[in-house]
Amino acid sequence: MLRAGLLAGLMLAATPAHAFVAYVSNEKSNTVSVIDTDSWTVTKTIKVGQRPRGIEFTRDGKFVMVAVGDDDTIQVIDAKAQAIVDTLPSGPDPELFTQDAAGKTLYVANENDNTVTVIDLEKRARLGDIQVGVEPEGMTISPDGKTLINTSETTNMAHFIDTSSRQIVANVLVDPRPRFAEFKHDSSELWVSSEIGGTVSVIDPGKHEVIGKVTFEIPGLRKEAIQPVGIGMTKDDKTAFVALGPANRIAVVDTATRKVTKYLLVGQRVWHMAFTPDEKYLLTTNGVSNDVSVIDVAAQKVIKTIQVGELPWGITIAP
């Protein structure tokens, strides 16, 4: 504790501008790596439950929630103590989850039984389940908090769920195996990646219609290797970053034209990503090469690679 405190103090003194903390879930190692974004080093490795995947800070930055699918629960890590302090009653095999803006309600995709579980974060109690399609995974909430999006991998749909009634209000068909969903900050568009389809569908959230598709083409790489998963949208909504899995690249997409402007070579099988709060850096998890790539967002360049545990999956950065 003392050491950690001292270390944090030193870092603050060094470069207060961008000393953030990133947490990375390592699916195979059953650990979470803590990365300091000032020194770009792993400062701690926390042992967690079986098969950690989805990972996110609570809104207040005090806790990190990590879905440990094979233990059928979500563990809560105290960010100060860097130790597990509690568990949340998710359904079986939780994978990805999202929370409302207030940080009061958590929505969890349970891959094994086609449901989304609703959890009261303050009481840490389960409020109920919503039946969705086969193998729910991608989860996001609209900026106004009114609509919850869940994507189901084998049903190939984005389900629009009214957060007050907890009813499905619309289902939008997308390309095969949708993995991840992300709203533009101005709510005008919802982007959904299709891992097997190899595309990102752009959906009009008002009309519940696919209004465009982002496609990818990399010379010398076969089409099957391009498998979009994670999406990161800049705060001005002008640029989207899309992780292309075994293509080992992040696509930089101009959101106005929906065209790729650049491909950034990162580690192997890149899946998820997180921006630092100042949006200077974007960190990506590269499963097969067991590392995290650091992208300089303005320069659109990979500046660093950090070794973490085995099969890094998800990433979250303290607000």
Q: Find the binder of another protein among 24, 46, 79, 157 (CB under 8 A).
A: 157
Q: Which of 4, 8, 170, 318 binds another protein (CB under 8 A)?
A: 170
Q: Stretches 58-66, 109-117, 250-258, 275-283: which one binds another protein (CB under 8 A)?
A: 109-117
Scan residues 233-292 and list those touching another protein (CB under 8 A).
246
Among 49, 133, 232, 287, binds another protein (CB under 8 A): 133
Comparison of 156 and 255: residue with beta carbon closer to another protein = 156
Stretch that binds another protein, among 75-83, 146-154, 274-282, 306-314 (CB under 8 A): 146-154
111 binds another protein (CB under 8 A): yes
- Interaction of residue 135 with another protein, rule CB under 8 A: yes
Size of site (CB under 8 A) for another protein: 42
Q: How far is the CB of 176 from another protein (least distance, A)?
A: 4
Distance between CA atoms of residues 290 and 211, nearest Å? 36
Residue 128 interacts with another protein (CB under 8 A)? yes
| Residues contributing to the site for another protein (CB under 8 A) | 89, 93, 111-112, 114, 118, 123-131, 133-135, 152-157, 159, 166-171, 173, 176-177, 195-198, 222-224, 246
